[in-house]
Structure formats: structure tokens, C-alpha cells
């Protein structure tokens, strides 16, 4: 006797359900990460087990309503483009202005460079400079590396984060990934992994490129990852550094430097009861003055602040101090 239409439908449904329950067959049920989704969590349930996947942002600060300040200046010599303050313990955002605006990060880029390097390279690995590490531009921060110069990753990270040397950023990139382009691919992959999906990086230094950008919130996500490394926190808290690396002939090349962070140099002071741990500056003509900073209040609670595209250095530290005042 021939099956009716209803019979065929029920039979097909039974086969599909059987395959799903038994796990047989080649059918794969994949739920990829969608960087454009507005949902932060998903749920799987079965007859016997109920499990809830941990939301991506469960341990993160989430931007709230835009902070209003009658003293905000949108353009001119006292302006800045974005500012944020993140309470790491309370998972709150006490201050939020333009969290998702795409801006040039300048040398704050080197925070992500350090993260990728620390995850892919041993601290005592010897790095060797090639021609891509030789920068001749006069207005570029550099230590004047030459092809064949060598140093350890530990030395390179100190010079990268304290002195912000762009040629050392290239040194790290070519030794970790084989090329600047290959390292940028690793940077972008890591950024997406961290949820920093409104960012794109084309170099390890932050030298100006129209296709190299991030947002204040993405910068928080990247810096928040960086401070999980004890070595990173140790380095960003140093006001000066001295070392000896080697040239192609094996000769010693002494080097010493001061931090680009003006809090650590004593040129600016944070509010009373606030301790600045360290951070990363960034300055170019297009990015203007930027700073991502780790600080602690009197109860030892940690905060990350981000100020981007301040018109000048004084505005940068003045605005950062206004954020740190909220810690008191």
C-alpha cells in the first residue's frame, strides 16, 4: 500500500529527529560567532541537560548612556574626541563619551602588538632586525636599528612600551610572523577574538594609515587583555629603562630611555588617593594625543581610562585627571 502525503512527512521527520538524537551521519550543526549580532548569549537545552553558554561580555564593562558634561568642547584647542572610564571590579562604566567612534590609535597600537608577541614568542627569544626595521623618517620615534641588530623579546617589549620605538615594533613583527603584513593579520585575528570588531590594524606601530583604526571601547578590550600579563603591567609601570643589545658584528649597543607617560615622569600628577600604574600613549598629527591608562583608587580597585584625539598634551592629561577624579 502506498504511503499518503502525511505518512511521507511523518517518516521524514522521524529520520531527521533520529539523526539529531543519535549524532549519526555527516550533518554538522555549527553556530559561528557573528560579530554583527546584537545578542550576547545563547542557550542549548536537551531532555536531560540544561546548559547556558557564558555570555561573551559577562566579565566586561559595558558602555552605558553617554555622559553629559557642560564643559565638553567639541572642536578647537581644548577639545577631544572620546573619553571613557571603566571600573574593572564593579564591571561598570562611570564615564562614557563616543565609545564606538572610529579613531586613529597611534602608538596605543603597541598594546595589541605586545599581546600578540607575548602569546606567540618566548621572552628570551633572540630577535634579529632586517631592512623593514630600518626607519629613516626624521619625525618617527625610533632607536635607529640596523639590519643584523639583535635583542631579546624581553628587551624589545620594554623599548616598545616605555619608549614607543616604531622600529622595534617592526622588529617584533617580522620575528614573530615573518613579515609586517603577517603580523597585522595576527593582530586583526586577536582583535576579533577579544570582541574588538570595530578595529582594523595594518602595522604593529600605529604609524598613520587611513585603514588603521580602533574605537575607545575596543581599546579598552585590548588593554584589558594586556593587563592579564604580569610582564605587561611590570613594563608599563617603569619610568625609565636601560639595556644593551648587539649589532650585526656582535658589538654592544647601549640604550637608555624615559617613559613617554608623563604621569610616570612626574610632569603631571593624578588626583589625591589615585595611583597611576601605567599605560600607553599615542601621538600623531592625525590621531593627536591619546592615552590608555591603568589606575587604582584608595581601596586598591582597578580602573582603565581611555582618552583619544585630545587636541594637545595638556588637554589629554587634564581630561584624564577629570576621569580619575571620579575615583575619589
Spans of all domains in the chain: 82-327
pLDDT of residue 39: 41
Cα distance between residue 171 and residue 179, in whole Å: 9
Cα distance between residue 320 and residue 85, in whole Å: 9
Cβ–Cβ contacts within 10 Å for residue 316, how many?
A: 25
For the chain, how many helices (H) and strands (E)? 8, 11
Q: Are 102 and 198 in contact (CB under 8 A)?
A: yes
pLDDT digits (tens, 9 = 90+) for 248-294: 999 999 999 999 999 999 999 999 999 999 999 999 999 999 999 99
Cα distance between residue 92 and residue 216, in whole Å: 15
pLDDT of residue 59: 85
pLDDT of residue 65: 77
Which residue, chain included where needed, has cell 521527520? 13
Give residue 78's pLDDT band: very low, low, confident or very high (50, 70, 90): confident
pLDDT of residue 233: 98
pLDDT of residue 75: 58
Phi then psi for residue 126, to 5 deg, are: -80, 125
pLDDT of residue 23: 42
Q: Give, in degrees to the nearest 5, the angle at Cα 232 between 162 and 242.
A: 35
Residue 238 class from Cβ within 10 Å (0-12 exposed, 13-18 middle, 19+ buried)? middle
pLDDT digits (tens, 9 = 90+) for 103-132: 999 999 999 999 999 999 999 999 999 999
Q: What DSSP designation does 270 have? A: P
Cβ–Cβ contacts within 10 Å for residue 253, how many?
A: 16
All residues at 6 or more sequence positions from 5 whose CB lies less than 8 Å from its CB, including other chains: none
Beta bridge partners of 289: 283, 310
Question: Any idea which fold 82-327 has?
Answer: Beta-lactamase (3.40.710)
pLDDT of residue 257: 98
pLDDT of residue 31: 41
Cβ–Cβ contacts within 10 Å for residue 137, how many?
A: 9
Q: Which of 77, 107, 152 is nearest to 261 (CA)?
A: 107
pLDDT digits (tens, 9 = 90+) for 203-257: 999 999 999 999 999 999 999 999 999 999 999 999 999 999 999 999 999 999 9
pLDDT of residue 5: 46
Q: Are 283 and 55 in contact (CB under 8 A)?
A: no
pLDDT digits (tens, 9 = 90+) for 153-211: 999 999 999 999 999 999 999 999 999 999 999 999 999 999 999 999 999 999 999 99
Q: Which of 237, 276, 218, 209 is nearest to 102 (CA)?
A: 218
Cβ–Cβ contacts within 10 Å for residue 102, how many?
A: 14
What are the grid coordinates assigned to 176, written together? 614573530
pLDDT of residue 16: 43
Amino acid at each position: 500500500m502506498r504511503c499518503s502525503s502525511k505518512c511521507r512527512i511523518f517518516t521524514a521527520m522521524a529520520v531527521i529527529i533520529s539523526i539529531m538524537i543519535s549524532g549519526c551521519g555527516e550533518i554538522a550543526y555549527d553556530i559561528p560567532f557573528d560579530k554583527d549580532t546584537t545578542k550576547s548569549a545563547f542557550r542549548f537545552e536537551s531532555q536531560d541537560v540544561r546548559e547556558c553558554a557564558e555570555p561573551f561580555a559577562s566579565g566586561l564593562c559595558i558602555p552605558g548612556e553617554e555622559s553629559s558634561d557642560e564643559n565638553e568642547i567639541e572642536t578647537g584647542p581644548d577639545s577631544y574626541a572620546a573619553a571613557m572610564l571603566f571600573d574593572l571590579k564593579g564591571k561598570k562604566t562611570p564615564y562614557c563619551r563616543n565609545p564606538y567612534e572610529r579613531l586613529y590609535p597611534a602608538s596605543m597600537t603597541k598594546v595589541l602588538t605586545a599581546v600578540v608577541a607575548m602569546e606567540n614568542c618566548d621572552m628570551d627569544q633572540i630577535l634579529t632586525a632586517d631592512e623593514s626595521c630600518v626607519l629613516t623618517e626624521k619625525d618617527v620615534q625610533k632607536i635607529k636599528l640596523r639590519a643584523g641588530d639583535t635583542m631579546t623579546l624581553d628587551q624589545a617589549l620594554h623599548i616598545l612600551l616605555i619608549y614607543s620605538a616604531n622600529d622595534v615594533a617592526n622588529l617584533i613583527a617580522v620575528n614573530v610572523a615573518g613579515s609586517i603584513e603577517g603580523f597585522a593579520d595576527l593582530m586583526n585575528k586577536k582583535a576579533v577574538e577579544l570582541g574588538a570588531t570595530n578595529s582594523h590594524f595594518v602595522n604593529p606601530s600605529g604609524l598613520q594609515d587611513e585603514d588603521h583604526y580602533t574605537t575607545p571601547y575596543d581599546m579598552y578590550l585590548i588593554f584589558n587583555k594586556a593587563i592579564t600579563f604580569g610582564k605587561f603591567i611590570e613594563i608599563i609601570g617603569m619610568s625609565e629603562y636601560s639595556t644593551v643589545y648587539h649589532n650585526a658584528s656582535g658589538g654592544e649597543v647601549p640604550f637608555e630611555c624615559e617613559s613617554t607617560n608623563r604621569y610616570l615622569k612626574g610632569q603631571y600628577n593624578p588626583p589625591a588617593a589615585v595611583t597611576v600604574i601605567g599605560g600607553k600613549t599615542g601621538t600623531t598629527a592625525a590621531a593627536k594625543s591619546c592615552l590608555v591608562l591603568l589606575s587604582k583608587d584608595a581601596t586598591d580597585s582597578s580602573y582603565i581610562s581611555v582618552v583619544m584625539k585630545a587636541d594637545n598634551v595638556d588637554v589629554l592629561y587634564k581630561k584624564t585627571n577629570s576621569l580619575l577624579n571620579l575615583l575619589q
